[in-house]
Amino acid sequence: MERTAVYPFTAIVGQEEMKLSLLLNVINPLLGGVLVKGEKGTAKSTAVRALAELLPPLDCVRGCRFHCDPEHREDWCDDCRDAWEDAAEVPSDWCPMRVVELPVNATEDRVAGTLDMETAIRQGKKKFEPGILADANRNILYVDEINLLDDHVVDILLDAAAMGVNTVEREGISYSHPARFVLVGTMNPEEGDIRPQLLDRFGLSVTVTGEHERENRIEVIKRRLAYERDTDAFLAQYAREQEELAQRILAARKLLPKGTIDDDTLGKVADLSLALGVDGHRADITVIKTALTNAAFHGRTRVERDDLLAAAKLALPHRMRRRPFEEGTLDWDRVTEILA
Task: Examine the domain organization and report whether 79 and 140 are in the same domain.
Answer: yes
Model confidence band, residue 323 (pLDDT cutoffs 50, 70, 90): very low
Task: Examine the domain organization and report whether 274 and 181 are in the same domain.
Answer: no
Strand order in the sheet with 204-208: 99-101, 140-144, 182-187, 34-38, 204-208
Task: Examine the domain organization and report whether 176 and 312 are in the same domain.
Answer: no
Task: Examine the domain organization and report whether 144 and 264 are in the same domain.
Answer: no
In a domain, 107, yes or no: yes
- CA atoms of 185 and 35, how far apart (whole Å): 5
Domain count, the chain: 2
- Give residue-wise pLDDT tens across range 69-119: 888 888 888 888 888 877 788 888 898 888 888 888 888 888 888 876 666
Q: The CATH number of the domain where 286 resides is what? A: 1.10.8.80
The catalytic site residues sit at 282
- Give residue-wise pLDDT tens across range 26-64: 999 888 889 988 877 777 888 888 888 888 888 898 888
> Is residue 98 helix, strand or coil?
coil
The amino acid occupying position 51 is L
Q: Which residues pair with 38 in a beta bridge?
A: 208
Closest CA to 37 of 197, 154, 199, 160: 199
Task: Examine the domain organization and report whether 102 and 186 are in the same domain.
Answer: yes
Task: Examine the domain organization and report whether 203 and 303 are in the same domain.
Answer: no
Task: Examine the domain organization and report whether 163 and 84 are in the same domain.
Answer: yes
- Give the containing element (helix H, strand E) for 185: strand 182-187
In a domain, 84, yes or no: yes
In a domain, 238, yes or no: no
Instruction: Write the DSSP symbol of residue 43.
Output: S
In a domain, 121, yes or no: yes
Residue 298, domain extent: 259-338
Task: Examine the domain organization and report whether 129 and 196 are in the same domain.
Answer: yes
- CA atoms of 133 and 34, how far apart (whole Å): 17
**Final residue belonging to a domain, choices 208, 238, 273:** 208
The amino acid occupying position 287 is V
Task: Examine the domain organization and report whether 185 and 95 are in the same domain.
Answer: yes
In a domain, 35, yes or no: yes
Q: What is the mean pLDDT of residues 299-305?
A: 90
More confident residue, 210 or 13: 13
Provide CB contacts within 8 A for 200, sequence distance 6+.
Answer: 279, 280, 282, 318, 319
In a domain, 222, yes or no: no
Length of the chain as a residue count: 340
Model confidence band, residue 2 (pLDDT cutoffs 50, 70, 90): very low
